[in-house]
């Protein structure tokens, strides 16, 4: 043990997370700066057990322990092998010298020694009765915590037959060397916890001390996440001199009103243990929306530390991590639909007076994923690309109620039945809203069909006017024929007509115009 040249409060590092400090005649084991064990200086076996446990959890390696000088490399290798085979009892059994277990002082023998000692028998008489030496009986008595007999010369007959009126001897429990104190009751424990929390709440923590506490907490959570024992890192806001994008906090406060976090946990569940859980990912996505960050790739232009300070994290999730977490959240399509429906119901319950009119509109969004989708014309790029069409249903104030995603070439007439079904599920059976949409969905608004399922359906006035003007222009281009086949026949007949004199002689027609002038 390398303690001869060590001074008090000097740390011995074992790997990245574990430290051992000598404080007087006590060894204190720290993990990420938090004390987790206290051993006596002479308890070398206890220290070896602690280090073997850390090695089994992959917190330290055998090379780290050997480099620290606390345990020899070969000895610690055998300790780790014994610990993995049978845990702490196997390791302590390996470190024992001489006999590895009790040979004569078994529980039955100890009980017999206690019974004879209670009758006043001497150590020699007890040894002759149980077949042990006097020194073994003395050791057994010390182990049981029994006092030395008062009169050693007095021998008590051990084989006298009991009298007829003597009652059967009571089976007394074997005394134990140490008595365990009674545990505290539940009300006392709750009162102690409440007092501790109140004392912590009354403390005034300085900014530098708070920053140090948060840093220690982050280190501990990093250690637990590495072990797979952390569900999600805590949201801690460290004091800083400047915080870019701090105005996002005004928008993040609305998460408690919308109930997005609660519904996401209820409908989708939780993510695998790690630093980033459901709360971290949802707050990061809301922050991206408030900062107009449309895709995870655009996070490359932002400092993850600055974004993390806004959402209460050490570092915000970057592009690769965010993509992986989003894939895990969207793995089950039905759960995502349940989340959209739940959020729509929450919105309708919150603003019931704003769903009398619901507006439906579709927006084409280019798709750059791996799936094969049909192409649609993207007006912003003036090109046909694989795309999806997001049909948004908004209330009369313009706030979104729900969204239905379809392929880019799916017309509104095909998506309208699904949209009406989702609207009915969101608003409930006792509400009959008026559905407003443009001319692209007019074919689906059959008289009686839509009104019987949801409510009143009406195309916008601008859409109807635009539709009438478009129809007039189309009829004028096709020479007034309503049928395309008839328009084609008229065009062919026009090509068969003989040419007029003006068509044959354009010069003559121009000369005649000059003559008239």
Where are any strands of DSSP class E within 318-474?
Answer: 357-366, 375-378, 383-394, 400-407, 434-437, 456-459
Within this chain, do residues 298 and 418 fall inside the same structural domain, yes or no?
Answer: no
Model pLDDT for residues 49-104, shown as the tens digit of each residue: 888 888 888 888 888 888 888 888 888 888 898 888 888 888 887 777 655 555 67
> Rounded to 10 degrees, what is the CA torsion of 223, 226, 230, 232?
100
Q: Which residues contact 26 (CB under 8 A, 6 or more apart)?
A: 38, 39, 40, 41
State both tokens at 48.
């070896």
Q: What's the confidence (pLDDT) of residue 200?
A: 55
CA distances (Å), origin 494, targets 487, 488, 505: 11, 10, 19
| Euclidean distance between CA atoms 36 and 27, whole angstroms | 11
Distance CA(100)–CA(102), nearest Å, equals 7
Residues 351 and 228 in one domain: no
Q: Which residue has the tokens 């249903």?
A: 393
Does residue 171 or residue 320 have the better pLDDT? 320
Q: Are residues 351 and 317 in the same domain?
A: no
* Distance in angstroms (rounded) separating the CA atoms of residues 395 and 433: 10
End position of a domain, from candidates 295, 329, 363: 329
> Smallest Cα–Cα separation from 92: which of 48, 41, 42?
48
Assign 3-class secondary structure to 338-364: HHHHHHHHHHHHHCHHHCCEEEEEEEE
> Which segment of 276-280, 322-326, 495-499 scores lowest on mean pLDDT?
495-499
The pLDDT confidence band at residue 292, using thresholds 50, 70 and 90, is very high
CA-CA distance, 438 to 430, in Å (whole number)? Answer: 26
Q: Supply the DSSP symbol for 1.
A: -
Given a cut of 70, whether residue 496 has pLDDT beyond it is no
Residue 515 lies in a domain: no
Residue 111 domain-assigned (yes or no): no
Q: Is the pLDDT of residue 510 over 60?
A: no
* Domain containing residue 390: 333-466
Domain boundary among 305, 329, 353: 329
Identify the bridge partners of residue 407 per DSSP, sorted by sequence position.
Answer: 388
pLDDT at 157 over 90: no
CB 296 within 8 A of CB 323: yes
* In a shared domain, residues 397 and 446: yes
Asked if residue 291 and residue 402 are part of one domain, the reply reads no
Q: Which two tokens stand for residue 170?
A: 């009571």
- Is 243 within 8 Å of 306 (Cβ atoms)? yes
Is 108 contained in some domain?
no
Q: Does some domain include residue 514?
A: no
353 and 268 share a domain? no
Is the pTM above the cut of 0.85? no
198 is a domain residue: no
Q: Are residues 389 and 456 in the same domain?
A: yes
Provide the mean pLDDT of the chain: 76
Instruction: With respect to residue 114, please indicate whether it lies within any of the assigned structural domains.
Output: no
Long-range contacts of 283-290 (CB under 8 A, 24+ apart): 283/235, 283/252, 283/255, 283/311, 283/312, 284/311, 284/316, 284/317, 284/322, 286/251, 286/252, 286/255, 286/260, 287/245, 287/248, 287/252, 287/311, 287/316, 290/248, 290/251, 290/252
Quick check: is 395 in a domain? yes
**pLDDT confidence tier of residue 325, bands split at 50, 70 and 90:** very high
In whole angstroms, give the CA distance from residue 11 to residue 352. Answer: 64
* One domain for residues 320 and 429: no
Looking at 36, 61, 95, the residue that finishes a domain is 95
User: Comparing C-alpha atoms, which of 108, 167, 162 is closest to residue 140?
Assistant: 108
pLDDT tens column, 381-413: 888 888 888 889 999 888 899 888 888 766 788
pLDDT band at 456 (very low <50, low <70, confident <90, very high): low
Mean pLDDT, residues 490-501: 65
Residue 471 placed within a domain: no
Same domain, yes or no: 272 and 397? no
CA distances from 195 to 167, 183, 201, 204, 350 (A): 54, 19, 10, 16, 39
Q: What is the pLDDT of residue 373?
A: 85
Residue with tokens 């192409």: 375
Say if residue 34's pLDDT is above 70.
Answer: yes
Which contiguous run of DSSP H or E holds residue 56? helix 44-56
Taking only the tens place, the pLDDT of each residue in 201-216 is 555 566 667 777 777 7
Q: CA 215 to CA 242: how far, in whole Å? A: 18
- How many secondary structure helices (H) and strands (E) does the chain include? 21, 10
Domain match, 357 and 316 both: no
Asked if 305 contacts 261 with a C-beta cutoff of 8 angstroms, the reply is: no
Query: Which run of H or of E encompasses 420?
Result: helix 412-427
Q: What is the mean pLDDT of residues 181-200?
A: 59
pLDDT band at 504 (very low <50, low <70, confident <90, very high): low
If one counts the domains in the chain, the total is 3
Residue 280 pLDDT greater than 90, yes or no: yes
Indicate the helix (H) or strand (E) that contains 64.
Answer: helix 62-68
Nearest 5 degrees, angle CA 374-CA 380-CA 383?
45
219 band by pLDDT with thresholds 50, 70 and 90: confident
Distance CA 47, CA 71 (A): 9
Specify the pLDDT at position 439.
76
Could you give the percent of the chain with pLDDT greater than 70? 71
Q: At residue 386, what are phi and psi to the nearest 5 degrees?
A: -60, 130
Residue 508 reports pLDDT greater than 60: no
On whether both 34 and 84 belong to a single domain, the answer is yes
Residues 341 and 261 in one domain: no
Q: From CA 481, how far away is CA 488, in angstroms rounded? A: 9
3-state secondary structure of 398: coil
Give the Cβ contact number of residue 319 at 10 Å: 14
């Amino acid at each position: 043990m390398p303690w001869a040249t060590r001074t008090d409060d000097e740390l011995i590092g074992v790997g990245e997370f574990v430290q051992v400090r000598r404080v007087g005649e006590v060894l204190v084991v720290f993990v990420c700066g938090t004390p987790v064990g206290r051993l006596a200086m002479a308890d070398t076996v206890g220290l070896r057990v602690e280090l073997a446990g850390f090695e089994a959890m992959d917190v330290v390696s055998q090379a780290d322990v050997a480099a620290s000088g606390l345990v020899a490399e070969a000895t610690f290798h055998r300790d780790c092998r014994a610990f993995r085979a049978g845990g702490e009892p196997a390791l302590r059994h390996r470190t024992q010298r001489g006999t590895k277990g009790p040979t004569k002082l078994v529980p039955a023998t100890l009980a017999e020694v206690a019974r004879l000692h209670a009758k006043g028998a001497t150590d020699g008489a007890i040894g002759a009765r149980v077949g042990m030496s006097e020194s073994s009986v003395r050791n057994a008595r010390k182990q049981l915590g029994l006092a030395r007999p008062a009169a050693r010369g007095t021998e008590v007959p051990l084989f006298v037959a009991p009298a007829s009126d003597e009652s059967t001897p009571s089976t007394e429990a074997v005394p134990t060397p140490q008595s365990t104190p009674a545990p505290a009751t539940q009300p006392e424990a709750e009162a102690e916890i409440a007092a501790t929390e109140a004392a912590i709440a009354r403390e005034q923590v300085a900014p530098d001390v708070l920053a140090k506490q948060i840093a220690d907490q982050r280190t501990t959570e990093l250690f637990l996440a590495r072990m797979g024992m952390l569900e999600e890192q805590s949201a801690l806001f460290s004091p800083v001199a400047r915080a870019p994008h701090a105005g996002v906090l005004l928008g993040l406060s609305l998460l408690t009103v919308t109930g997005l976090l609660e519904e996401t946990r209820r409908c989708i569940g939780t993510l695998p243990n790690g630093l980033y859980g459901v709360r971290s990912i949802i707050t990061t996505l809301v922050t991206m929306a408030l900062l107009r960050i449309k895709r995870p790739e655009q996070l490359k232009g932002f400092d993850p530390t600055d974004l993390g300070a806004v959402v209460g994290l050490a570092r915000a999730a970057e592009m690769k991590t965010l993509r992986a977490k989003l894939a895990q959240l969207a793995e089950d399509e039905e759960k995502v639909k349940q989340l959209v429906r739940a959020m729509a119901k929450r919105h309708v319950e919150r603003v019931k007076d704003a769903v009398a009119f619901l507006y439906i509109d579709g927006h084409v969004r280019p798709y750059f994923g791996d799936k094969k989708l049909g192409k649609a014309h993207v007006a912003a790029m003036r090109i046909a690309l694989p795309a999806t069409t997001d049909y948004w249903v908004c209330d009369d104030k313009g706030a979104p109620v729900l969204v239905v995603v379809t392929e880019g070439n799916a017309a509104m007439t095909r998506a309208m039945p699904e949209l009406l079904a989702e609207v009915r599920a969101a608003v409930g059976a006792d509400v009959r809203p008026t559905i407003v949409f443009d001319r692209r969905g007019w074919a689906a608004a059959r008289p009686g069909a839509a009104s019987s399922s949801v409510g009143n359906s009406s195309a916008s006035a601008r859409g109807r006017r635009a539709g009438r003007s478009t129809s007039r222009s189309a009829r004028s281009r096709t020479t007034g024929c309503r049928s395309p086949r008839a328009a084609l026949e008229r065009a062919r007949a026009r090509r068969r007509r003989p040419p007029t004199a003006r068509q044959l002689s354009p010069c003559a027609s121009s000369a005649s115009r000059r003559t008239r002038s």
